[in-house]
Homo-oligomer: A and B are copies of this chain.
Amino acid sequence: MSVHHEDELYLEMEKRMRKTATAKMWMCVTACVIACGLSGAALAEEAVPAAIAPTGDVPDNSLIQTTNVLFLLLGAVMILAMHGGFAFLEVGSVRKKNQVNALNKIICEWSFSAVLYFLIGYPISRGVSFLVPISQLETNHGVECVRFFLLLGFAACVPAIISGGVAERAKFWTNVLAGGIFVGLAYPVIEAFTWGQYNSWLAGADGWLAKFPFCRAGFHDFAGSVVVHATGGWLALPAILLLGPRLKRYEDNAIKVSSIPFLALGSWALIVGWFGFNVMSAGSLSAVSGLVAINSLMAMVGGTIAAMMISRNDAGFVHNGALAGLVAICAGSDLFHPICALVVGAIAGALFVFLFRVETEDWKIDDVLGVWPLHGVCGTWGGIAAGIFGTEALGGRGGVSFFSQLLVTAAVIVFTLVVSTAVYGVLKITAGIRMDAHEEKIGSDLAIHLIQANPEEAL
């Protein structure tokens, strides 16, 4: 920590920077809130008739309803815990001078995501508004409220994934703004056509996609390999490229991570929560399947072992390998035989280790947490794998089409690349997306949050 020698000089500068930053911050927020209010109101108007009409619940059996609310709530809570995991995975993987920033980014983006997805995203994706009388919200023990909470957990993964890629150099507020646009608009559009109100187009057995040549079934993504993870990972890539690598990243002395224990802590929180992410993706207790749980387990295990073998027992790769397996299993976790889940996970673990090295070392793309190989590539692999190992020929449950998987996955990649390039491109030439060199050098903790991760030691 050579930081405090230079402190006095910087402090004055920082104070001045703060004033401008705060003004900008309030403008961003005001704009956001106004936009939300208007859109929300508009959409609510439309959505009222459809509001709160959960499917699949038999209205005269309250135990079915209450256990269902419990089921979705538990999924939501476990996914909320995953966001704590995202935070600590990043805390451990960045330098100590950016740990506070990692923590604040995750909890703040979660919070903005909740508001935006509540007002705009969920109405877009499911045609349901919450700006209705409270009596409607309480229908069927408030099941739609917990469904929102669960699906927010998925939506908020998008900024959390991006956060790991742009770490240590992105400006706080423009990154929050980009994340807000993705959670409020881009992700809900993808969700609407795959899981939401227009899902019959792409996912329906007789839908638009299923009628395509070679596509004999709709698109299948049980828990979001493509919808959530590929979306997040591919949205991150243009941001990472537009930002450029961290200062001195490719000079002699490689930048090192700060803490393997915190990295592992984050990974464990993600692993444990992931069983809510996958199993509760069933959407209602009546559709719960133990097969999804064992497949998630097998993929996690396959990813861990593969990453361990290839990386020669490297701690970072091992703990991310488990996540790679879990990313890849989401789409087909209800379709695979557990043996195939093990294979799908192992391939994902290997893909991650290999591509993280190629990306960051050979291509010199400074993707700090490897979110493109982890979420982008393994998510893509998961989407395609569902079309391979999900077929009856390979012991799967069938009803899935390789070409449908390929087409929609490709479409999501193209869509996210375009959206992210546009959003981050515009932000780059207007508000700016990168901290200045001085801020980056002292670290985002001091530059943005005026504090260090261990303030007592910094005294």
A residues in contact (CB < 8 Å) with B: 18, 22, 25-26, 29, 62-64, 66-67, 69-74, 76-78, 80-81, 84, 87-88, 91, 95-96, 99-100, 103-104, 107-108, 110-112, 114-115, 118, 130-131, 133-135, 137-138, 141-149, 152, 172, 253, 256-262, 264-265, 267-269, 271-272, 275-276, 279, 285-286, 288-294, 297-298, 300-301, 304-305, 308-309, 312-316, 318-319, 322, 336-339, 342, 395-397, 448-459
Contacts and interface: CB of A to CB of B under 8 A. Distances in A.
A291 B135 CA distance: 10
A294 B149 contact: yes
Contacts of A133: 395
A294 B112 contact: no
The 6 lowest CB-CB distance pairs between A and B, nearest first, are A142-B290, A145-B290, A84-B268, A145-B294, A256-B455, A146-B290
B261 A456 contact: no
B260 A453 contact: yes
A81 B64 CA distance: 28
B149 A293 contact: yes
Contact of A449 (B73, B141, B290, B315): B315
B118 A298 contact: yes
A87 to B, nearest CB: 7
Given A149-B294, A258-B454, A134 B275 contact: no
Contact of A25 (B285, B309, B453): B309
Contacts of A71: 70
A80 B271 contact: yes
Contacts of A275: 73, 76-77, 80
A319 B74 CA distance: 23
A309 B146 contact: no
B260 A318 contact: no
B142 A293 contact: yes
Given A264-B103, A339-B131, A448 B115 contact: no
Contacts of A130: 294, 338
Nearest to A458: B256
A131 B339 CA distance: 8
Contact of A261 (B99, B289, B337): B99
B257 A87 contact: no
